[in-house]
Amino acid sequence: MNKDSSKSKAAEIAIKQVEAFSNHDYETARSLLADDVHFILITSIPGFPNPFEGNGVEEFMKALTSGNTLIPGSLQVIHSIGDEHQALITVSVKGTLPTQEPITLLAARHYMINENEKITNELVIIATYEGKV
């Protein structure tokens, strides 16, 4: 679902990447990353390292796949905006905590995209949410 959003090349790439990893399609998620990708995650998820930062495809993919409890098909793109080289998207996605309790995550995600249409930087701010999106 994409509500009231501006379609841009960077936003399309960012959304494709989030769709891929939220559906556990790690091959597609990896293919969208620059070799020197840098990422920072700030979160309110209980028990998660905060902030969490890394560099390179391998660190990115390790962080992405370690304990991914996101429910495939639950991603909602709330809004996206961008140009050719950067995008800001807001999303919600359902998952489960390590205790198996259901959780809804809201995230603001900022992306920088290079001339090869690969993600070079990702900044993610995640909050848990109990209401309806």
Q: What DSSP string runs through 80-126?
A: EEE-SSEEEEEEEEEEE-TTS-EEEEEEEEEEEE-TTS-EEEEEEEE
Q: Which CATH number fits domain 9-129: 3.20.20.370, 3.30.450.20, 3.10.450.50, 3.40.50.300?
A: 3.10.450.50
Query: Token pair of 114, please?
Result: 């290079």
d(CA 39, CA 52) in angstroms, rounded, equals: 8
Q: Give me the residue spans of the domains in the chain.
A: 9-129
DSSP 8-class letter at 60: H
Bridge partners of residue 126, in order along the sequence: 43, 107
Q: Which residue's entry shows tokens 């690969």? A: 118
Q: How many CA atoms lie within 13 A of 18 on its CB side?
A: 32
Would you give the DSSP letter of residue 73? T
Per-residue model confidence as pLDDT tens for the chain (133 residues): 334 455 799 999 999 999 999 999 999 999 999 999 999 999 887 777 778 899 999 999 998 888 778 899 999 999 999 999 999 999 999 988 777 788 899 999 999 999 999 999 999 999 876 655 5
The whole model's pTM is what? Answer: 0.87
Which residues have C-beta within 8 Å of that of residue 9, sequence separation ≥ 6? 82, 83, 84, 113, 117
- Cis peptide leading into residue 51 (ω within 30°): yes
